[in-house]
């Protein structure tokens, strides 16, 4: 039977908290950017697409270091946020959520972008001819038709956030109870003699959570697709 210590349970709960906030906070921006990339025709579109995908190809440690330079207490954005809004990201769980959101953002945007590109524009035009304004068309026609991609993108981003290590440990360190997620806890246990057994337990938990997220992504995306296709 799998037995987890209070510290390990805390790391699991923190990972779930960080991944949830990372996904929810980045979802509105993800939908916006995906719509721009799917339908926009403007100079610099290729550059925007490259910037969105950049976290996928950069070493996670580099992303974490850039975040530390920008959002650290002495960084330009971090100093301003701390002084004017009282928001601190460096070495806090909120910083872990920020790092995870950035690392999962490309997966989210890509899934939503493909879904947005597949929407039949004639349905939107038909709603417009019936007198619906663009905002109403987007909320009642476009967004529901994009639901499969939105759900899949959100869950994939959540799963990516659950497994993030390099960017988070560089940006917010590995503080038990504050920034120590599942990945960081596994790393810590592997540095301790005899910690292999406890690390194996957390590895099993991480695999189950990631597998569950992927299966849920496929399930909900398929159900949403069947619902809006009338199957």
What radius of gyration do the chain's Cα atoms show?
20
The correct answer on CATH 1.10.3720.10 for the domain covering 6-229 is: yes
First to last CA, the chain: 43
Tell me which of 57-61, 65-69, 120-124, 187-191 is least confident. Answer: 120-124
- Please write the tens of the pLDDT for every residue from 146-181: 888 898 899 889 989 988 999 999 999 999 888 999
- Please write the tens of the pLDDT for every residue from 61-93: 999 999 999 998 888 999 999 888 888 898 999
- Please write the tens of the pLDDT for every residue from 17-38: 999 999 999 999 999 999 999 9
CA 95, CA 72: separation in Å to the nearest integer?
9
CA 77, CA 64: separation in Å to the nearest integer?
15
Q: How confident is the model at residue 135 (pLDDT cuts 50, 70, 90)?
A: confident
């Amino acid at each position: 039977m799998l037995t987890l210590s209070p510290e390990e349970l805390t790391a699991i709960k923190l990972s779930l908290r960080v991944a949830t906030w990372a996904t929810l906070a980045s979802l509105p921006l993800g939908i916006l950017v995906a719509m721009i990339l799917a339908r926009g025709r403007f100079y610099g579109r290729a550059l925007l697409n490259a910037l969105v995908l950049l976290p996928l190809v950069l070493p996670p440690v580099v992303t974490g270091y850039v975040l530390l330079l920008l959002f650290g207490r002495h960084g330009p954005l971090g100093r301003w946020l701390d002084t004017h809004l009282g928001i601190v990201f460096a070495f806090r769980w909120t910083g872990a959520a920020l790092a995870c959101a950035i690392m999962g953002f490309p997966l989210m945007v890509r899934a939503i972008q493909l879904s947005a590109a597949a929407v039949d524009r004639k349905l939107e035009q038909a709603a417009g001819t019936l007198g619906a304004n663009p905002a109403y068309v987007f909320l009642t026609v476009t967004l529901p038709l994009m639901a499969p991609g939105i759900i899949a993108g959100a869950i994939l981003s959540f799963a990516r956030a659950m497994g993030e290590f390099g960017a988070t440990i560089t940006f917010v360190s590995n503080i038990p109870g504050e920034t120590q997620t599942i990945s960081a806890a596994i790393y810590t246990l592997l540095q301790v003699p005899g910690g292999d057994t406890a690390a194996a337990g957390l590895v099993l938990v991480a695999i189950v959570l990631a597998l569950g997220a992927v299966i849920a992504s496929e399930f909900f995306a398929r159900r949403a697709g069947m619902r809006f296709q009338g199957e």
